[in-house]
Structure 1
Amino acid sequence: MRKFYILLLAISFGNSFSQTVIFSENMGTPPTNPAQTPIASHTFQNSSPVIFSGDAVMVLPNNPDIAMPSSGYEGASGGGCTAIFATDKTFMIEGINTSNYSNITLSFGQLKGNSQNSNTVTIETSPDGTAWTPLTYTGVVGSLTTWSLITTTGQIPSTQNLRIRFKNPPSTVSAFRIDDIKLTGNALGVKENAIAGLKIYPNPVTNGKLFIASDANIEKTVAIYDVLGKQVVNTSATDFVNVSNLKGGVYIVKITEEGKTATRKLVIK
């Protein structure tokens, strides 16, 4: 319960010392066959409005020839991972709402192949899909066939639709595997009740539907966090959000409408 109140304060009031998980993705688990799955055919941990694209592939965790599931760092999920096997291939995530955060940091698990002697995978972010800003990182230099946790440096924009792009440059001769992508940041100050007429009901939720209403009655961005600060829902809605996949417990709902944001405690039974 103590963790829940810490999370509530971080999301609701925010300060330069509070760190919140904005987004996390463990890449899900690809099907047992085939050994490689296209990005477009795969079911990720996150769903709409987050979109995954690119010509990289998803790799099975139980294929000993190509998989090498993530391990050896804190938070390693060990399931499927994204593999950028060839030069000039990409993996992109878009639709992440970072508009209420500052000092945003990106981390992820990475495995680079035997023949690659430097950390040359390109990582870029963009607020609009047109202007891209590279991030930098320092990893293990030299031949490596074990996973490591990478933390990037560089400015990541606060925007309603952040794009992250991983790319294996034309000069790279080896494969890279990526897993457990996470964004953290400082929650900005949020004015409660800024959304006129905001109501969420029923609370507790017992039938898998959380209804959200306001005076404006327009589309809202809805993010739900568990007691550990992990984002478990990130979607858009005008009337209700499907929460049937969430386990019973206490959550925080963050609702954004026309740049105004409010947070609410949510109980699911």
Structure 2
Amino acid sequence: MKKIYTLVAVLTATFAANAQSEIITQWNFDAADHTLAVNPSTGTGTFGIIGGVELNLNTDGTMPGGNPTSGKGYSIKTFPEQGTNSGTAGFQFALSTTGYENITLSFDPRSSGTGSKWMQYEMSTDGTTWTTLGNNNGALANDFNNPVSVTLPATADNQGSITFKLVSIFAPGTQAYAPVGTNYGTGGAWRIDNLTISGEEIDTASTIDNNIEGLKVYPNPASELINITSNELGIKNVTIYNMLGKKVLETSTEETVNVSTLTSGVYIMKISQDGKNASRKLVIK
């Protein structure tokens, strides 16, 4: 038995060492129709603008160029008057990080010459209380040469819903917006592209109580039905928990379990049969 525990520990350490960051949600804003450009190009989430700013399109109604110029970027204008409403206007987006940890935020920003060069990053897990993650040190320029990458705190890990704001702020220590160029103006435009949230999948596959011989769970990922088979015939008791430890489904079956009521995400499934127990990670797509 000691050898089994040791092997599990080694495998767990190996999985952790080999964890790879992957895109959870991304907006590339490349849709020709600006009403569709707000939809993620990868994953799921919502994107919008706040603080009274307006969408800024080319004169022919098309989206302005992004990074690279072969794509599109999302541009906004009509920011607050000089000396007013710092930290209120900009971009806002929300998504789920369920099943992921070590989250990072990255994007490509630019501004016109009359736009504010100071951008602040904020995060909320309840949509009400906001945490300031930092700012760009006044690095906004009239090009895409200053990409942003922010490592998020652990409170961003494994969240069913998390919201972010990228907002214009006064230059620190002042009550005024500092322009990218010579003069600040409310018509100054911000543009953003390649807005990406990435993370490492939480490893919950390694378990010690795995003594049901021949146990198989498939398909996995699943969306409606899963099959649970083993070398033994008979009833299996199945309990499924979300990543916060809340029980979301409990049933008994000889083979098939309907999981269609579960939302997309990562779960832990506990299975017992004839006094033996096992755990499996279950992914609902």
| TM-score using structure 2 length | 0.53
What is the RMSD computed on CA atoms of the aligned residues?
Answer: 4.9
Where do 5+ consecutive residues of structure 1 fail to align?
1-9, 73-77, 204-208, 221-236, 242-252
* Aligned counterpart, 2:91: 91
> Match for residue 184 of structure 1?
198
Q: Percent identity at matched positions?
A: 13
* TM-score normalised per structure 1: 0.56
Partner of 1:255: 266
2:147 to 146, 149, 155: 149
The within-5 A match list for 1:119-268 is: 120-138=118-136, 141=139, 143-153=141-151, 155=153, 157=155, 158=157, 159-169=159-169, 172=177, 173=185, 174-192=188-206, 199-201=217-219, 211-213=224-226, 215-216=238-239, 238-239=259-260, 255-256=266-267, 262=281
Report if the CA contact (8 A) 1:122-1:169 is conserved.
Answer: yes
1:132–1:140 CA distance, 2 compared to 1 (3 A): closer
Structure 2 gaps, min length 5: 1-10, 80-87, 171-175, 178-184, 210-214, 229-237, 244-257, 270-278
Q: Does 1:106 align with 2:102?
A: no
Equivalents in 2 of 1:202, 1:191: separation in Å? 12
TM-aligned CA distance change 1:44 to 1:65, over 3 Å? closer
Pick from 28, 46, 49: which aligns with 1:51?
46
TM-superposed CA distance for 1:115, in Å, is 2.6
Q: Using a 3 Å threshold, how does the CA distance of structure 1 residues 188 and 177 change in structure 2: closer, same or farther? A: same
Name the CA distance, whole Å, in 2 between partners of 1:63 and 1:261: 54
Q: Aligned partner of 1:262: which letter?
A: K
Aligned residue type for 1:67:
P
Q: How do 1:15-54 residues align onto structure 2 when only pairs under 5 Å count?
A: 15=16, 18-32=19-33, 37=35, 42-46=38-42, 48=44, 50-54=45-49
SS in 2 for 1:15: helix
Alignment partners' CA distance in 2, 1:127 and 1:70: 30
CA radius of gyration, larger in: 2
Cα 1:58–1:262 shift into 2, 3 Å: farther
SS in 2 for 1:54: strand
* Cα pair 2:112 2:141 within 8 Å, conserved: yes
Measured after TM superposition, the shift of residue 113 of structure 1 is 1.5
Q: Which amino acid aligns with 1:136?
A: G
Note the alpha carbon deviations across 1:195-236, whole angstroms, 9 max, x for none.
xx9844399xxxxx854438458999xxxxxxxxxxxxxxxx
Deviations 1:91-139 (A, max 9, x none): 222232255413x221111112223463x12221111112211222546
Displacement after TM superposition at 1:52 (Å): 2.6
Change (3 A) 1:107 1:216: same
